[in-house]
Structure 1
Amino acid sequence: MSAAQDMLIETNTCSPEQADEYRLCSLFDNSSARIAHVDLDLRLIGSNAGFADVFGLSVEELPGVALVDLVHARARDALTRRLLSLARGERSRISDLIATLTRSGRTSTELTGIAVTNGAGRIDSLVVLLELEPEPAASAAAPCPADVRKPLTRMEAMVLEGVAAGMSTVQLASKLFLSRGGVEYHVSALMKNLDAANRSELVSRAYSAGLFRMGSWPPLVTEGFVD
């Protein structure tokens, strides 16, 4: 029996008359785990603080967010297929090593999914557990992703957020109290940093590098990339 399955039957503070809720509360009460409750449309119902913190979010921000939006784009189709097979009852458990978009950038994550049945024995939701790969030894400064040459300044982060939201140079200049030339200077610096040829490629590369917090609109740059 896996550690995840062991946690499903631990004692906790939930009412023993509600067997399914009892098991879920056992998971959510385990502060050392990173756990989320997911509906059959693969959207988050809720999570514990450990799960939300991985993505730099609060537990209040996650309900309704599509689980696959929290993983790297290349991993989404395969993960969706495996989670749906779990929801259909074709599997009782899945475990995959995937790339997630955490608040510190991309990282490898062991994702375990478990089907949750109701009193009638039908699957009505899923529980997902994350186990992050060990972080590299700490250094004086956290390294940037390979596709970002150096950390962003606070102003560069705000300019990048505006460009990703579709704002024009004039709109950015007004919002950030810069001249048009000042906006273009920061945009040019960002394109050089991310090796982008134009604004569209800049935004694409920023998303690919995991610079933005997932599930947020307008786009917000993750604090870990701002110097």
Structure 2
Amino acid sequence: MDFLNQLLRVPIEQLPFYLVTLVIAFTVHEFSHAYFANKFGDPTAKLLGRVTLNPTVHFDLIGIILLLIAGFGWARPVPVNRDNFSKPRLMGVIVSAAGPLSNLLLGVLGTLIYVILIQFGILDAISNDKLLEAIRLFFGLFTLMNFFLFLFNLLPLPPLDGYRILEDIVPRSMFGTLKKFEQYSMFIFLLILVIPGLQRYTISPLYTAAHSMYMHFAKFFLMLMGA
């Protein structure tokens, strides 16, 4: 057990909550890409069985293990052929943005549900301390991770969605510059994730921003409920 605690970045007792959160967050994220790509006329993802909420078709085992051990990982990317879109650049932006926006929606929904549980005294009615702690831990992780994934995936670095959006919105005259930058940006991306000193200025601020998003949405929903 001590070995696992040292190996994983996630406390072993919190591991089930992280895994459930990642299953939901990654599955909905990749499904959103596939759904809109198919909706806009590209059947590539559908033919590969990716327009589904079945998590087994979206998960990459190595990506999940690395996420738990190294702090970064991935799901299986959805293949998209923009040539099948009637408006490749506009629809490409929407398809790329659909993934991060789905995580934003999950974070908002998680916050709303948690606020309802608190505001209407549902949590107060739970006498089992372990169950109460588990509910609080799950919603805390679920909202924070989804808001973080929303922000993280919008970074304009390959292979993130933010870079794909950038590719579709910059003038065609800049494509060559982007391609030259791409080989270096991947290296920069890995450095940001791997070097602890850099994470203080890159990844940590994203977690801070994700927590701030949760607090703002929670206050907003409380205000709507008259609290």
TM, length-normalised to structure 2: 0.22
More relative contact order, 1 or 2 (CA 8 Å, 6+ apart): 2
Q: 1 or 2, which has the higher strand percentage?
A: 1
TM, length-normalised to structure 1: 0.22
In terms of Rg, which structure is larger?
1
